[in-house]
Structure 1
Amino acid sequence: MRLSFLEPLYKQSGPFASVYVDTSRDTAVGDPDAAVRLRWRHLRDALMSEGADQESITAVAGTVGTDSDVPGPHGQAVFTAHGRLALLDELPAPPARDTAHFGTLPDTMPLIVQHAPEIPYLAVHVQYGGRHSTDAPGIVRIDAEAGVWPLTRVTPGHRLRQEIPVTDWLNAAGVIGHELEGHARRIDVEAVVVAGDVWARGILVRRLPASLREDVITVEGACPSEPGRALMEQRLESVFGERMAAHDRALLDAFLAQRARDGASAEGLAAAVSALQRGRAKALFLNDHPESPLRLWVGPEPGQLALTEEELRTYGVRDVHGERADAALTRALVGTKAELVVVPERRVRLREGVGVLLRYADPASPA
């Protein structure tokens, strides 16, 4: 995953207030807005206990809950610095728990995890309930959306909606197929998820351009869609729940291949820190362990990180402090334009939860 969406945040200097809060309104709570305000009060107390300044707290308070127009379960990630909003991101699902942190580095890992797997896709729902014949009366309705999963859950993508008489469906399906191809090309889709009437959707799939047909995944069952949410959201969740984006899979395959032959890859926190210090990391792989106690020592610059305070001071860094390992690693990744791949532990278990793919092999390493 490319972390360019975090670059504006890291261009600012800390300290940062980092807040993750469930702002869902479709709950059984009588007054959901009051529930959001109560959650914020608890988080405000946590920020104050960590030494947050009043300006930062005021900036967060003015942002939490401003997404009342977003339907369905969701949350907000709010980052402020020096009394100003530094980054606001809508979370496609409520955070596992509401958290607040005030420190030199922003706590961005929960946001990154919610962005994964970032799969560009095309969802197509073909509605028709009449007789399966092109001389039957009736209308075929097409709803399609191009988006990136799971972000489309709270930020809908480009929509296409058309109604076609059944008598024109054979010809119109080909025209719609080429229109869908144009939308797909703009985001380089990896999957075309098609649902709806078996007969009508079959005609559409057969008339899709070859570049789309090979990526088609058909799903069965009703596909209700809530206004303001992703088209076919529940079906997409079942399709993409265990899937990695193709780009991330390619990086992981390269890491595993090079690990197998002792090439340009390594595991463990020390190896990752060493690669990031020298700007040699192409991609970092993490098992998501939000409870991990691992910490690193960091300086003002992204590449200034080390396992110990003494090591960092030997490099001439004077302003040194300890941080969560994932926060330090993420800042270094953004600063060196390396990528991050969140790897489920059931797929690959990494030593200390960390692996690194190098941009090039160390000349001293065995071939």
Structure 2
Amino acid sequence: MDLAFLHPLYEHPGPWASVYVDLSRHPQDATRQRRLTAEAMSRELAGQGADEATCRAVRNAIEELKDSPEPHGRALFARAGAVVLDPPLARAPRQDRALWAPLPRATPLLDLTGEDAVAVVAYIDRRGADFELRSALTRETAGSVTGRQWPVHRTSSADWSERHFQLRVENTWEHNAAEIADALAVCQEETRADLLILVGDDRERRSVHERLPKRLHERVVDARHGAGSRLLDGDVEEARATHVRRRAEAELERFLAARAPDDEGRAEAVEGVPALVEAAREHRIDELVVRPDGGDTHREVWVGEDADQLAVRRTELKILGEQNSWSARVDDALLRSAVATDAAVISLAPAEAAGEQDVPVGGLGALLRWT
């Protein structure tokens, strides 16, 4: 998951208000319901010690969502009387919730916005293709390509002139497939799409697939729909969910392999809170691996103002020279460190195998930049 959008949360000190609002229900009295939600979240924050200006900013921001067309929900992060970040959610939260804490409660974003696979759907026929950008939050046109328009149909005659015509038809198909593949590769690069879903007859799909750059082959999904068909939301969602699950399973396998020590007893992955805290302090985390239901995710650690100021015990921070420290959830502290050091972060929630074993131990692990 690309966490660059979270940088504003760590450019200012806390405490922070973190609010998750479900927008998946659209009652007729939406204005009244949003007002009630706004008041409830504001009271919840005030009860936890939030200042009035921040409570008011959150209340106003939620009330402004009364006409929002968003299908899932919104997260709000506020401090000092202002909403600093309000990303839309790719999945609805289980319930509306609000928290006032030293660090932003950002870890739920891994599952509510993270791994929202973006797909480019290419509707292919013999003359060209139309591209459509699809995600949990997006459905929009993404361009088109038009190839040679004549000739594109073959005949059944065995006459020499007809065979020559068929050869020209074959050449036209090959030319069009190459142009579609080139345009699709450019579209993927511009949109940074995770998936390329090809829709059309078998031959046209195969011709385009073969001409795509090899780096994109593993991103391709063939939709079993003929030319002229349009994919339903459920078709795209299934392809996106399969992609996310397979990626999570692949990262889990990579973590399992990396945590096995080499001949010298060194491992390229660690798990457990003490080892992770040490790796975060030393900027050694290359990818943070999170299983949201893990038993250690809610454990408290001590943090300072900077991302690498974290420790299992408060006295450790004082030894490191940090005079001000606060108690915070370890998953949020590690997430702040990952964002600050440009480390990758992945949730194992989509991985089917992750629910069958305690991996990583306690729900938190990391692949290391160096051992």
TM-score above 0.5, yes or no: yes
Q: Once the 2 structures are TM-superposed, how far is the Cα of residue 37 of structure 1 from its aligned partner?
A: 2.2
Q: What does the per-residue CA deviation read over 1:279-323, in whole Å, with 9 as the maximum and x for residues that have no partner?
A: 221121110138854111111111111112222233232212211
Which of residues 27, 30, 33 in structure 2 aligns to 1:32? Answer: 30
Q: Which residue of 2 aligns with 1:337?
A: 342
1-structure distance, mates of 2:362, 2:113: 23
SS at match of 2:197: strand
2-structure distance, mates of 1:92, 1:193: 20
Q: What does the per-residue CA deviation read over 1:109-162, in whole Å, with 9 as the maximum and x for residues that have no partner?
A: 112322322434322345x9xxxxx8xxxxx89542246xxxx32244662368
Q: 5 Å matches for 1:219-238? A: 219-220=223-224, 232-238=232-238
Q: 5 Å matches for 1:200-279? A: 202-208=203-209, 209-211=211-213, 215-220=219-224, 232-244=232-244, 252-261=252-261, 262-279=266-283
Counterpart amino acid of residue 47 in structure 1: L
Q: Which residue of 2 aligns with 1:364?
A: none
Q: Which residue of 2 aligns with 1:5?
A: 5
Q: 5 Å matches for 1:153-168? A: 153-156=136-139, 159-160=142-143
SS at match of 1:160: strand
1-structure distance, mates of 2:352, 2:246: 18
Counterpart amino acid of residue 354 in structure 1: L
SS at match of 1:13: coil
Q: Which residue of 2 aligns with 1:60?
A: 58
Q: Which moves more between the two structures, 248-257 or 310-319? A: 248-257
Q: Which moves more between the two structures, 319-328 or 266-275? A: 319-328
Query: Which structure has the larger Rg?
Result: 2
* Residue 282 (str. 1) matches residue 286 (str. 2): yes
2-structure distance, mates of 1:43, 1:251: 36
Contact 2:268 2:367 in 1 (8 A): yes
* Residue 103 (str. 1) matches residue 101 (str. 2): yes
SS at match of 1:119: coil
Contact 2:291 2:363 in 1 (8 A): yes
SS at match of 1:19: strand
Q: Which residue of 1 aligns with 2:328?
A: 323
TM-score (norm 2): 0.78
Which of residues 297, 301, 307 in structure 1 aligns to 2:306? Answer: 301
Gaps of 5+ in 1: 129-133, 135-139, 226-230, 362-367
* Residue 145 (str. 1) matches residue 132 (str. 2): yes
SS at match of 1:59: helix
User: How many residues are paired up?
Assistant: 336
Q: Percent identity?
A: 27
* Residue 347 (str. 1) matches residue 345 (str. 2): no
2-structure distance, mates of 1:49, 1:202: 64
Gaps of 5+ in 2: 153-172
1-structure distance, mates of 2:151, 2:24: 43
Structure 1 residues 250 and 290, CA gap change in structure 2 (3 angstroms): closer
**Richer in helix (by share):** 2
2-structure distance, mates of 1:157, 1:269: 43
TM-score (norm 1): 0.78
Q: Which residue of 2 aligns with 1:77?
A: 75
Counterpart amino acid of residue 206 in structure 1: S
